[in-house]
Amino acid sequence: MLQFSNKEMENIRHRATPSVIKALIEDNQIVLNHEVLVPEDGRATWNLFYYCPEHGVRLTWDRNKPTSHCCPVDGKTFTGEPYDGAWWRWLNGLNAKACYDLGLLWHLTNEDRYLNKVKQILLQYAKYYPDYEVHGGIPYNGPGKANAQTLCEANCHLDFARGYDFIKQALTLEQQAYIELRLLREGADFLVEHRTAQLHNHEMKINATIGVIGLILDEQRYLDFALNTEYGLHYQLEHGCIGEGMWFEGSIHYHYYALQALLNFEKMAHQTPYSVSSNPNYLKLLKFPLQLVMNTGDFPRLNDLSQDKKSSLMLTCLNLPTSKHRVKNLLVP
């Protein structure tokens, strides 16, 4: 396992209180309490389609109703596209997240039901992923395969890859080869092909995912592409971190989104020759938000920033010990 050494994982087990384990279980109830469901084709579209067009609120997602989508304001039901495709995008996200969370739970509890669920999810996606058609049409975004934009593809594959890293030791060589060839390599190749030639927080996440897969597979060409090509991680750091350290897009949300991607890669790379910690802008990007925090503990609402975006990304990156995010705090070395 690349994410944690044996010593680190032993320390994490000692710190894993019953409330932490309960939180991980509750946060993955939908996946745990249902049979594994994976789309057989590329029917998933975009999560931002899953909103009521009248009230602008997210529809109520129901695992048992893939073709019926309810507005929480007035109870109106929506059917067909774009809602059905967005329902599947939500499911893909839950499946991918469960690969990471339940892989961690297996290490914390040694209960095989968590291992088996991650194994089933990964093997099912590996079965179908190579045949997913490329689709998209989301404005200003590249296409996807399992989803409809390249960013969503990167987000899912990051959790697939990290979940695989958690359970690889328990898989047969045949299962490892199947997942690595048909899911991880297929995903990395797709992301390499569709990374946009731009300075952008999306490209930070896409690069980080390609790099993580490169580390797991020990694949030099993925690492070189993610790190050293134009618009790779070092390019993004050198050109996107400006002035005293603010991400160039001028939003603390995008600052943390870029930083979150970077830390996902660095967590695996920090003791390897591929670490980005030597880049002088790495520490600047990490430290700068502390200069913006107001005496209320909030950030100023600069540009594209909502309360939900601010709180979730800040806590994820800084690992602040709140009840909602105490699991994240557990994983600080």
pLDDT of residue 329: 54
Q: pLDDT tens digits for 211-260?
A: 999 999 999 999 999 999 999 999 999 999 999 999 999 988 899 999 99
pLDDT of residue 330: 58
Fold of 1-194: Glycosyltransferase (1.50.10)
Arithmetic mean of pLDDT, 14-33: 96
pLDDT of residue 133: 97
Which residue is listed with tokens 């980005």?
Answer: 276
Kindly report the number of other CB atoms within 10 A of residue 297's CB atom: 9
Task: Give exposure, 252-289, as e/b (b: 16+ Cβ within 10 Å).
Answer: bbbbbbbbbbbbbbbbbbeeeebebeebebbebbbebb
Q: Which long-range contacts (CB under 8 A, 24 or more apart) does 312-321 make?
A: 313/253, 313/256, 313/257, 313/260, 314/252, 314/256, 314/289, 316/256, 316/260, 317/256, 317/259, 317/260, 317/263
Query: What residue segments make up the domains of the chain, in order of their start?
Result: 1-194, 231-333
pLDDT of residue 301: 79
Arithmetic mean of pLDDT, 4-17: 94
pLDDT of residue 331: 59
pLDDT value at 308 more than 50: no
User: Per-residue confidence at 304, pLDDT binned at 50, 70, 90?
Assistant: confident
User: Per-residue confidence at 313, pLDDT binned at 50, 70, 90?
Assistant: very low
